[in-house]
Structure 1
Amino acid sequence: MNDVFDTDILKLLGTLYENDIFIWQEQGKLKYKSKEGKISKDILMQLKDMKLAIISFLQDCENNKFPMSPLQSAYLVGEANNCELGNTNAHYYIEYEISDIDVEKMQTVINELIFKHDVLRMIVLKEGENYILNNLPLYTLSTYQYIDCTSRKRVRNIWKNHVYKIENWPMFHFEVGKSDVRNDVLHISFDCLILDAWSAKKLIDELFQLYNGQKVDIPQFSFKEYMEKAAIYESKTEKKAEDYWKQELEKVSIPSIKTEIPIHEVTSPQFGRVEYIFTFEETKCLYERAKYYKLTPAATICTLFLKTLCEEYGNQSMTLDITLFNRLPLNAEVDKILGEFTNVGLVTFQKSDNICFLDEVIKIQRQFWKLVQYREYDGTKLLKNLAKGKVGKAVLPIVYTCMLDGCSCSEQPLFKEVYALSKTPQVMLDHHVRDDLGSLKLSFDYVTDLFREEDVEKILLAYVKRVKSAMTQIEWDCIVI
């Protein structure tokens, strides 16, 4: 029994499921039933050899599984192939370069993080709950010979589009390409069911800190404990939030976006990325202008994004799905743990003639303050409300994901980020806004079947032009941008 890992049991359970064999434990006894009425000798032998370990695993799973967050559940529903822009998972992929990666050292650090953060040992159960595995083998860091761009792109194409299966571990992947003539490359892939964008950034920061010999605090609080407390947490603003959103839902304007083919014809969404990076001086200039008018960069940039989309696609108004990173104050160490803490909210822009840019941003800023005020409200309820009578439809397929941190560049200069791509079910365009690498970076992750790259680049350039105009215009209260 001690030689059986949880991964061995998961593999066997997967085989049983594929063969329509149902298994459960009842008062310490292993029970199983085949749909066809018989079980192969090979499977029977495995059940016999692993009997005690399977019983222990099933008992622990029954006693210690815990609820998913509303957004985790929404991701699972959206992954279904009968949903528009479904048949894919919420996933993030990234590459870093550095000279001569110490593979053994990197593998040790990864295993240290797996031990430190329970969410890295988590699986998602078929019934829609989470479970933390207890008995795992050491994670083995994959490697390959990075000979040329072809070998690197082969690994990239495998993992940037990877779909992690539920009830399988791990829900992440690390791989190193070793080269004799250029920098080595570190590939990182993970399912967003286990990590939101802020947690992913924290994980990567801790990975590089440990690799560089620095210490990282180990939280006593866990993601499992957080989710259990969150399930019984009572928001003091629930009623006010419901009243606010009831009014706001009446103002929602579904984007009218021209696509190459109808959304429902996309059977397996593939994503591409275009991006633009401003200089530190440009970024500082924009932030100072926003601060002067007591506005946040997040609301300012969102306004410019919405204005660009409305102009390019001829919309008078438009509503965006806004990503919120919402950790409830359930423990003093809540900021130290990793997990999926995302919530969603809505922001609507209405074009008006002869209105100055400052007033446009103020309107969006007020909506952002409401997002903060009612951040505890389950935003997936808003999406469900909008989707009534539209089963499987991608109702609000444009997302604004903002991770501004005041240009506080992470202290990992040796590792250089060189490629990244996200994908999300039922999303045609996810706009990422970052400044953690020292300056403002705008990225569009888009469904390639719906948009030509040159068209997305055209929109990005128009957007960048607007942002630069805001940087150089001194008086926002008397201009139209």
Structure 2
Amino acid sequence: MHKEKGELIRHFSQGLVSQLLEAEGVHYNIGACQLGGYDFEQIKANLNLSVQHFYLHTLIAGAIDFQSEKAAMQTELESLEWQKHTDTLQSLVNACEQKEVQLWVEEDKLKFKAPEGALSPELLEQLKASKTFLIAYLQSETFKKHQKQYERFALTPIQAAFLMGRDNTFELGNVGSHYYSELKWPNLDVEKLEKVVNHVIGLHDALRTVIYEDGTQAVLPQQPYYQITISNETPEAIRAERSHHKYPLGKWPMFHFEVSSAHSTDTILHLSVDLLLLDAWSADLLMREIIKAYQGQEVKKPGYTVKQYIADEKKWHLEHQQFLQKAENYWESKLKDIPSGPELPFIKPLSEIEHPKFRRYTFAVSDKAIEALTQKAGQYNLSATAVLATIFSKLLSHWSGGKALTLNMTLFNRLGLHPDVNEVMGDFTNVALISYFPENQANFLYEATAIQEQIWQAVEHRAKNGLEVLRALNKNNPGKAVMPVVYTSLLSSESADMENNFFPEGVKEVYAVSQTPQVVIDHQIYRRGDEYLINWDVVEEAFDLRQLEKIVTLYEAWVHQIVEAENWDIQLSADS
């Protein structure tokens, strides 16, 4: 009848009817009712309703007694008043937990159990004053979700391996995974730094995590205040105490900040961290964020956590079984003809080293040299990481009498499960086996291309955890350090841009060393200020140290030779 205006008029009529019902319906017991006032289970299922929906129009539900429903709704709203005080209530729960006071609700009554003397008059008064709200909070989904966030969860595979490596039953075991660094920081403001450190601790769950002997970990529900130690000891004395520290399990913190020669031009910040908490990428991120925050730059809390990543990664693998199968096929094929680790001239069998002690050998390469290396590598479709891994592999082969060998390469390529995944601190490490096969007439470019191809393949097939590959390789020799030479590169952006140079002017790393169970050489490269440091952390008891120094010197010469070469159709030689 209304032709093209028909739909418009229908909408207009529906609006008038709706307004009439809202305005006049209450006089005829037609209006709004409290969800739960009637048996709405079927309606809830059909309409996907939840306890957050308080009103349901009686055009669906039927007639109501409006006055009684209004009173019931008011009572319901008052019962949810506690939601305005969740932070205060959780702080009260935390205070009770710290004093081992147990709280629970039984028959809608607040109950508690406390050790003798733990429940102070002040805390008891707080419990009494908050009793009504506490009863509602302790029974709420909000509290259950909060508690679940701080439940223990399993270690990652690499964390579990490091935990077992503390045991002396493994070759090159009896070692806690650990990183130690000394930063010379003239006139460091210790009070300011302490505030910054506590701010960064609050941003990252990993820094509030406790590792337990049973292979689990948990984030502390509240953040303890961390106080930086100001020491009167010499830097050398602190180094002797802290550089190879093994943190006790089940206790917080598993890191340590200490300052020597405070309030002077010779101030040194000593940093020690258990690598059960952080991988090398995250340890670098920790240093970066502390320095940035100290300089007044914004450091944000990531919208993601280690615990969420572990759960999401597991789910991703379940949903992408084809990638796991492809990875298993790749590594099974590769293991058929994989060379062993480097057969280095150890002066003592690794199995006889009961207390591995690590020593660092290091040399610096300018940021301009690394930038030139990166640009030249790009022309050949190579990464700087692959180029340096090739030099390192070739050097170890030379040291091993020209034999083929396999490196244990650290991978930091986290799955892109969240936009903030690379800003999360934790231990996400995976490992890959990269082999080197010497050929008499092969030039450097040919060898580097072969290494790069293996790295790409390792990244593509990372669904299979590298530790499982190592176990398969070592099934007949349990406990043996089967691939004890590790290659780690933090050339993450493959460039020497300013973002990587986060050290302020005047601050310099003057000493550092790391240690890892079942490792005899750990090669690392990372940036510090306007230079890159190439480090070898080695178990000194295994080597002729004079011979080792010559090998490191040759490595430095080869690195500069590749940087300066016009092209890479060359052969590296120990005599060149």
For the criterion TM > 0.5, the same-fold answer is: yes
Counterparts of 1:348 and 1:306 in 2: how far apart (Å)? Answer: 8
Q: Which amino acid aligns with 1:190?
A: V
Match 2:566 to one of 471, 474, 479 = 474
Query: Who is 2:247 aligned against?
Result: 164
Structure 1 position 323 matched with structure 2 position 410: yes
> How well do the aligned residues superpose, as a CA RMSD in angstroms?
2.9
For 1:458, the aligned partner's letter is K
| 1:459 match | 551
Task: Say yes or no: does 1:342 pair with 2:429.
Answer: yes
Tell me if 1:411 matches 2:497. no
Please tell me whether the aligned partners of residues 318 and 350 of structure 1 are also in contact (alpha carbons under 8 angstroms): yes
Pair 136,372 (structure 1): closer, same or farther in 2 beyond 3 Å:
same
Shift of 1:5: 6.7
Q: Distance in 2 between matches of 1:62 and 1:217?
A: 20
Q: Quote the sequence identity (%).
A: 33
Q: Whose helix proportion is higher, 1 or 2?
A: 2
User: Whole-Å Cα distance in 2 between the matches of residues 49 and 424 of structure 1?
Assistant: 44
Cα distance in 2 for partners of 1:231, 1:439 equals 39
Once structures 1 and 2 are overlaid, which stretch shifts more, 171-180 or 184-193? 171-180
Change (3 A) 1:272 1:114: same
Counterpart of 2:474 in structure 1 is 387
Deviation string, structure 1 residues 198-232 (Cα, Å, up to 9, x no partner): 11111111111111222111223222222222233
Structure 2 residue corresponding to 1:396, chosen from 464, 469, 483: 483
Q: Which has the larger displacement, 209-218 or 346-355? A: 209-218
Taking a change above 3 Å as real, the CA distance of residues 5 and 410 of structure 1, as seen in their structure-2 partners, is farther
Q: Is the 8 A contact 2:364 2:534 kept in 1?
A: yes
Q: Paired residue for 2:194?
A: 107
SS in 1 for 2:457: helix
Task: Determine if contact 1:251/1:348 at 8 Å carries over to the other structure.
Answer: no
Q: Is 2:328 the partner of 1:239?
A: no
Q: Report the counterpart of residue 249 of structure 1 in structure 2.
A: 335
**Preserved contact between residue 272 and residue 445 of structure 1 (Cα < 8 Å):** yes
Aligned equivalent of 1:88? 175
Equivalent pair of 2:185/2:265 in contact (CA under 8 Å): no
- CA offset at residue 280 of structure 1? 3.4
Report how far residue 284 of structure 1 moved: 3.2
8 Å Cα contact 1:67-1:228 kept in structure 2: no
- Which segment is superposed worse, 400-409 or 276-285? 276-285
Equivalent position of 1:296 in the other structure? 383
Deviation at 1:182? 3.5
**Is 1:195 the counterpart of 2:195 in the alignment?**
no
Contact 1:273/1:446 (8 A) holds in 2: yes
Distance 1:98 1:240, change over 3 A: same
SS in 2 for 1:101: coil
CA distance in 2: counterparts of 1:116 and 1:156, whole angstroms: 28
Q: 1:68 matched to which residue of 2?
A: 155
Matches within 5 A, 1:213-228: 213-228=296-311
Q: Structure 1 424/208 Cα, relative in aligned 2: closer, same or farther at 3 Å? A: same
Q: Which has the larger radius of gyration?
A: 2
- Verify: 1:266 aligned to 2:357, yes or no: no
CA distance 1:182–1:436, change in 2 (3 Å): closer
Alignment deviations for residues 154-211 of structure 1 (CA, whole Å, 9 cap, x no partner): 1111111100121111011111113465321101111111111111111111111111
Distance 2:260 2:277 in 1: 25
Does the 8 Å contact 2:403/2:437 carry over to 1?
yes
Tell me the TM-score normalized by structure 2.
0.72
What amino acid maps onto 2:510 in structure 1? V
TM-score normalised to structure 1 length: 0.86
Specify every segment of 5 or more residues in structure 1 that has no aligned partner in the other structure, as ranges: 10-24, 30-45
Secondary structure, in 3 states, of the residue corresponding to 2:222?
A: coil
- Amino acid aligned to 1:184: T
User: Deviation per CA, 1:421-477, whole angstroms, max 9, x where unpaired?
Assistant: 110000000000224533342110000111243222211111122222222332323
CA contact (8 A) 1:90 1:193 kept: yes
Give the secondary structure class of the aligned counterpart of 1:233.
helix
Query: Offset at 1:89?
Result: 1.0
Q: Which has the higher contact order (CA 8 A, sep 6+)?
A: 1
Q: Tell me the SS of whatever aligns to 1:188.
A: strand
Distance 1:5 1:111 in 2: 21
Q: Please report how far the alpha carbon of residue 480 of structure 1 lies from its aligned counterpart in structure 2 after TM superposition.
A: 5.1
Number of residues of Structure 1 aligned to a counterpart in Structure 2: 445
Q: Distance in 2 between matches of 1:368 and 1:190?
A: 29
> What is the CA–CA distance in structure 2 between the aligned matches of 1:479 and 1:221, rounded to whole Å?
47
Q: Residue 465 of structure 2: which of 352, 368, 378 is its match?
A: 378
Shift of 1:47: 5.2
Q: Residue 201 and residue 177 in structure 1: after superposition, are their counterparts in 2 closer, same or farther (change >3 A)?
A: same
DSSP-derived class of the 2:560 partner: helix
| Counterpart residue number, 2:514 | 422
**Equivalent-residue separation in structure 2 for 1:5 and 1:153 (angstroms):** 40
